[in-house]
Structure 1
Amino acid sequence: MQSRRVFSGVLAVLLIALGGCGSHTGEPDAVGGPAVMRRLTESQYRATVADIFGPEIPITARFERALREDGLISIGTGRSGMSPFSIEQYDGAALTVAAAVVSEEHRAKLIPCQPKSGAAQFDAECAKQVVQHYGVPLFRRPLRDDEVKRFVDAAQAGQERLGDFYAGLQFALAAMMVSPEFLLRIERTPPDAKQRDVMQLDAWSKATRLSYFLTNSTPDDELLRAAGAGELETRRGLQRQVDRLVGSPLFETAVRAFFQDMLQFDKFGDLAKDPVVYPAFNSTVAADAQEQTLRTITHLLIEEKGDYRDLFTTRDTFLTRALGVVYRVPVPTRNGWEPTEFAEGKHREGIQSQVAFLALNSHPGRSSATLRGKALREVFLCQEVPDPPANVNFAVVQDPSNVAMPTARDRLVAHRTEPACAGCHAITDPVGLTLENFDGLGTYRSVENGAAIDASGDLDGIAFNSADGLARALHDHPETPRCLVEKMYRFAVGRDTEMEERPYMDYLNREFKASGYRVPEVMRTIALSDNFFAISTLRDGEQT
């Protein structure tokens, strides 16, 4: 009996150390975080409209630039408000979409009924059918009776004003598309559930969170059906839907959306290069550079089911002729993409050596070891680099024509003699200088201003003398996969992690490692976990 009590005590300690007893999968008990209310991103808005009404329906709008918080737009969408400009654009887009849906060209396919007495008379039953038909996919839940009535009344008001049934439907559909229930992903817990400190999202919120995480778009009919049937409340039903979504063509869209956010590709909208210094740069190169990196990522992670860490050492990629000019690689294909393997010894290992990363993290007329080093640490390793003091003098480092200091390394060494600068540059420069063989556009060079470039560097105690050594150091760094998991979960739930979620994050990292660092597997693990849908009512109350 004594030995049994000792064994039970040891077991309890081990379970606590592992983060709680959790479910049969080994997942720690869910602790949750606050419920979030997120605005649809531009890509989500466009995908949602296309999935509901069809890809041929036009969207005429200029979307306001998204807010990035804690390194991710997916978190910023839950913290930013809506400016008058955004509301105006959403209104215009809604009217354009609704007009196309009810147009003579599309109404036979998209409107599920016809007015019994012709378009000159209002048909309340048909209007109600249209509102209910599109209400569920637009609001991602069934509409309440009062909501149905409000939109049917809007259709009738439009009919009375314009004398046309379909013009009235346009008003109703547009009103639905400017509703917060459409523009915002509003998360809810079951209204009739017993109040507890940790609760699960209701079925419709589960379906929404699941769909935008795994497809970057609204829940499809099958997922909405499963939510309404209560299947997402069972392990088997949830697993069936997760496996279906991960296996669908839209899963690649979700992976792309995550890496676009993680790599901060939204900044390409402001990217400019001096045309005298970099004549090869244009809008085509900027667009192709982003697509090259995304194709490299999805090819390795989805098509090849590869190890995430290999993104930092792979030489396999895809090029267009425009990119071939920058890389100085012949591309026989005149139009379109060509699979390419960079030759060994050309220092083109990994996505950090591709134009998208190098050009984005540089100045308009020169490279920047500091910007690149900062991005390497913050984007791939989740290591925070503080902003420079407001009174720093950048005159030395910004003068590439200085004959006495011809290379960026020379200028940065002089710049770091200022005490206020030394701390930050000690973090960024040893790793960023390794990429100085690439100019501000990303073209390889061996000299700067006639002086040989010293590409030696160091990453947290690992020394190397070229970009290839940096590639291997990033691949082997223990924080590389941990950072991916951290950002993936924060991207999925739209908020920063809570301290109480550390055991769950450790669990995800163990699962990620056990899968061979396969990204689809860690996304599947997140989507199947209780923690993914958990809401802490205590923290929610504290936040509000």
Structure 2
Amino acid sequence: MTSPDPTLPAALRRWSRLRRARFPVLAGGALVLLLALAGAQFMEPSEPEPVGGPPMMRRLTEAQYRAIIADIFGPQVPVTGRFEKAVRVGGMIAIGTGSAGISPFAIEQYDASAQGIAAAVMSPSRRNRYLTCGPSDVRRFDQPCATQFLNQNGRLLFRRALTPAETNKYVGLARRATGQLGNFHRGLELSLYTMLIAPDFLFRIEHAKPGLDGRPGELDAYSRASRIAFFLTGSTPDDALLRAAEQGELDRPGGVERQAERLMATPRYEQAVRSFFADMMQFDRFGDLSKDPAIYPAFNSDLAEDAQEQTLRTVVEHLVTKRGDYRDLFTTRDTFLTRSLGVVYRTPVPQRGEWVPATFAPSAHRAGIQSQVAFLSLHSHPGRTSPTLRGYAVRQIFLCQDVPDPPATVNFTAIEASAHRPNVTARDRIFQHATDASCAGCHKVMDPLGLTLENYDGLGTFRQRENGALIDTSGSLDGTDFDTTDGLANALHDHPETPRCVAERMYKAAVGRDITWNERYYLDWLIGRFAADDYRIPDLMRRIVTSAEFFATTRPVMPGTLVRADARTIAGDRL
């Protein structure tokens, strides 16, 4: 018996074996016809026709700002300004950047950061790293050198080549500053500072080409490069990607694919994955997290940093290094630990100050990232757990399901008063949620999830009793009942909204907005391909960045939607 063709889809190979066993006399021509008809069912569905959305103006996030400065000038250049609290829309800061303006406080901080960066770059100990030319007399202005320096760095900061008018403006500013300050390097410093407070740097301003014959438009080459870079690296386009935009490579077949493969093979891709999941899991909130030191003496800022890093290392190892199934993040027992985390997990870590790989035993009750300290401590109160907060977080973060905020008249006194009474558990305290009609509607979808996580205290340490009483961890998720944290892990793994949520969030974060009504067909196709690719995140990201929909546009940005800081006025104050 001949073996089935290994190039056939698995389902067809199985059918072929079955056919030979049950229909040995089937004519060869009929077999070819049947295989052709069956093969049509297994052809990969093509991407829907692009419909697009509006080009965006997106304010840089703090992580992107810092990454850009490190990529262009090096990690040794400090960013001294403070960043105001980010706007979160649809569960993601990356989506909120499309609607965030600039407050007076933010302008002051951008100004402080720009001054510090420009001064560091042009300092006597550093400027030779960035400046390969200059006048013999520092009091004289060297126009060719200034033009070279400002064009080179402006191209990276603005993510496009400077226009002739912009070159003249920044070179002219450096000339005037050199004359007034008597120092060529101080002149370049002021001009660089002015670039760093320009809207073209602080905002990712997209430009589009109109479509023909009623078809959607598409982003221009530089805007394409910017979307690709921030999605796949979390930072500004590098020189190679900008050259690809300038030379038209991104408009030719295979051009985007080649750049995507190149960027995904660099360490910067790993950083982009980390940034996405840190945003999705709301790790920015750790800056405001506090714990009662009398109840949780192990908690401090170092532990908070280690907790975040543990989850991100787990994510990257599983999704990028091992190219694992995204859903397995909720059941994996493999992770990384430090000694301080080992105290919370009650797992000895011999090396001080080092990360070590670890695999939790089944008896440790640590399956999935939702059982790790970062998630558990972030979604708890300073002095106790909160089944409601944890259940809400599971719904919102991992399943993209909105739950209404509580009414303003809610009275938390009874819950607070009984928090540490003997033989009282969280299930007893929140009994009112199930009996009060104004509470029950929302709490019935949150509390059953959070109550299963009550085996972990407000820091994330495993426990079996609270206030002396045995904890009942029975719960349910959309019709699936369980009574252990492992049961919750399996329910999250198998829930159909789990992969749909991350795919939807990833696309929205990539384009910086909610989907348009007509994009729902594209999203359905994308989620279907995610499943066909065994839920691998790198494949999902590659499909997004190489799809026509990623660059399609509908209408230009309306004038007046960008709050501009007048860079020339601010710069003039420094002269």
Query: Does structure 2 conserve the Cα–Cα contact (< 8 Å) formed by 1:456 and 1:464?
Result: yes
Counterpart for residue 30 of structure 2: none
Q: Deviations over 1:34-63 (max 9, x none)?
A: 111111111111110111112222221111
Query: Aligned-pair distance for 1:403?
Result: 4.4
2:307 partner letter: A
For 1:416, what is the secondary structure of its paired residue?
Answer: helix
Aligned counterparts, 1:250-269, within 5 A: 250-269=268-287
Counterpart for residue 106 of structure 1: 126
Counterpart for residue 178 of structure 2: 159
Query: Aligned-pair distance for 1:130?
Result: 1.4
* Residue from 140, 145, 157 that aligns with 1:121: 140
Matched, 1:221 2:239: yes
For 1:314, what is the secondary structure of its paired residue?
Answer: coil
Matched, 1:453 2:471: yes
Matched, 1:60 2:88: no
**1:408–1:197 Cα change, 3 Å:** same
Counterpart for residue 290 of structure 2: 272
Determine the C-alpha separation between the residues in 2 that align with 1:197 and 1:304: 40
Counterpart for residue 26 of structure 1: 46
* Residue from 344, 356, 369 that aligns with 1:338: 356
Matched, 1:137 2:156: yes
Determine the C-alpha separation between the residues in 1 that align with 2:69 and 2:81: 13
**1:195–1:253 Cα change, 3 Å:** farther
Counterpart for residue 248 of structure 2: 230
Query: Does structure 2 conserve the Cα–Cα contact (< 8 Å) formed by 1:34 and 1:543?
Result: no
Query: Aligned-pair distance for 1:534?
Result: 1.0
1:129 partner letter: Q
**Larger mean Cα displacement after TM superposition, 511-520 or 86-95:** 86-95
Determine the C-alpha separation between the residues in 2 that align with 1:321 and 1:480: 32
Give the fraction of aligned pairs with identical amino acids, expressed as a percent.
56
Structure of greater Rg = 2
Counterpart for residue 150 of structure 1: 169
Matched, 1:354 2:372: yes
Q: Deviations over 1:180-236 (max 9, x none)?
A: 001100000138x75855111000000001000000010001000000000001231
Aligned counterparts, 1:153-232, within 5 A: 153-190=172-209, 196=214, 198-232=216-250
2:189 partner letter: Q
For 1:510, what is the secondary structure of its paired residue?
Answer: helix
Aligned counterparts, 1:363-382, within 5 A: 363-382=381-400
**1:195–1:377 Cα change, 3 Å:** same
Query: Does structure 2 conserve the Cα–Cα contact (< 8 Å) formed by 1:396 and 1:414?
Result: no
State the Cα RMSD in Å: 1.9
Query: Does structure 2 conserve the Cα–Cα contact (< 8 Å) formed by 1:114 and 1:126?
Result: yes
Query: Aligned-pair distance for 1:247?
Result: 1.2
For 2:254, what is the secondary structure of its paired residue?
Answer: helix
2:155 partner letter: V
Query: Does structure 2 conserve the Cα–Cα contact (< 8 Å) formed by 1:39 and 1:77?
Result: yes
For 2:224, what is the secondary structure of its paired residue?
Answer: helix
2:154 partner letter: G
Query: Aligned-pair distance for 1:334?
Result: 1.2
Counterpart for residue 426 of structure 1: 444
Query: Does structure 1 conserve the Cα–Cα contact (< 8 Å) formed by 2:420 and 2:467?
Result: no
Determine the C-alpha separation between the residues in 2 that align with 1:203 and 1:360: 41
Query: Does structure 1 conserve the Cα–Cα contact (< 8 Å) formed by 2:422 and 2:467?
Result: no
Query: Aligned-pair distance for 1:397?
Result: 2.2
Query: Aligned-pair distance for 1:120?
Result: 0.7
**1:194–1:503 Cα change, 3 Å:** closer
2:320 partner letter: I
For 1:458, what is the secondary structure of its paired residue?
Answer: strand
**1:542–1:534 Cα change, 3 Å:** farther
Query: Aligned-pair distance for 1:64?
Result: 1.3
Q: Deviations over 1:293-315 (max 9, x none)?
A: 00000000011110000000000
2:510 partner letter: A
For 2:415, what is the secondary structure of its paired residue?
Answer: coil
2:196 partner letter: M
* Residue from 52, 57, 70 that aligns with 1:37: 57
Query: Does structure 1 conserve the Cα–Cα contact (< 8 Å) formed by 2:384 and 2:419?
Result: no
Query: Aligned-pair distance for 1:399?
Result: 2.8
Determine the C-alpha separation between the residues in 2 that align with 1:71 and 1:241: 29
Query: Aligned-pair distance for 1:394?
Result: 1.6
For 2:276, what is the secondary structure of its paired residue?
Answer: helix
Query: Does structure 1 conserve the Cα–Cα contact (< 8 Å) formed by 2:331 and 2:493?
Result: yes
Is there any run of 5+ residues in structure 2 with no aligned partner, and where? 1-39, 562-575
For 1:322, what is the secondary structure of its paired residue?
Answer: helix
Aligned residues: 520
Determine the C-alpha separation between the residues in 2 that align with 1:395 and 1:335: 42
Matched, 1:247 2:260: no
Determine the C-alpha separation between the residues in 2 that align with 1:196 and 1:133: 38
**Larger mean Cα displacement after TM superposition, 57-66 or 262-271:** 57-66
Query: Aligned-pair distance for 1:439?
Result: 0.5
* Residue from 302, 319, 323 that aligns with 1:284: 302
Q: Which runs of 4+ in 1 moved over 4 A?
A: 193-197, 401-405, 540-544
* Residue from 490, 498, 513 that aligns with 1:495: 513
Query: Does structure 2 conserve the Cα–Cα contact (< 8 Å) formed by 1:394 and 1:415?
Result: no
Counterpart for residue 22 of structure 2: none
For 1:235, what is the secondary structure of its paired residue?
Answer: coil
Aligned counterparts, 1:385-424, within 5 A: 385-401=403-419, 403=421, 406-424=424-442
For 1:397, what is the secondary structure of its paired residue?
Answer: helix
For 2:357, what is the secondary structure of its paired residue?
Answer: strand
Query: Aligned-pair distance for 1:328?
Result: 1.1
Determine the C-alpha separation between the residues in 2 that align with 1:227 and 1:125: 25
For 1:339, what is the secondary structure of its paired residue?
Answer: strand
**1:150–1:317 Cα change, 3 Å:** same
Determine the C-alpha separation between the residues in 2 that align with 1:314 and 1:509: 22
1:497 partner letter: I
* Residue from 80, 84, 103 that aligns with 2:104: 84
Counterpart for residue 11 of structure 1: none
Aligned counterparts, 1:309-328, within 5 A: 309-328=327-346
2:78 partner letter: P
For 1:105, what is the secondary structure of its paired residue?
Answer: coil
**1:166–1:313 Cα change, 3 Å:** same
Query: Does structure 2 conserve the Cα–Cα contact (< 8 Å) formed by 1:396 and 1:415?
Result: no
**Larger mean Cα displacement after TM superposition, 141-150 or 193-202:** 193-202
Q: TM-score, normalised by structure 1?
A: 0.93
Query: Does structure 2 conserve the Cα–Cα contact (< 8 Å) formed by 1:197 and 1:537?
Result: no
Q: TM-score, normalised by structure 2?
A: 0.88
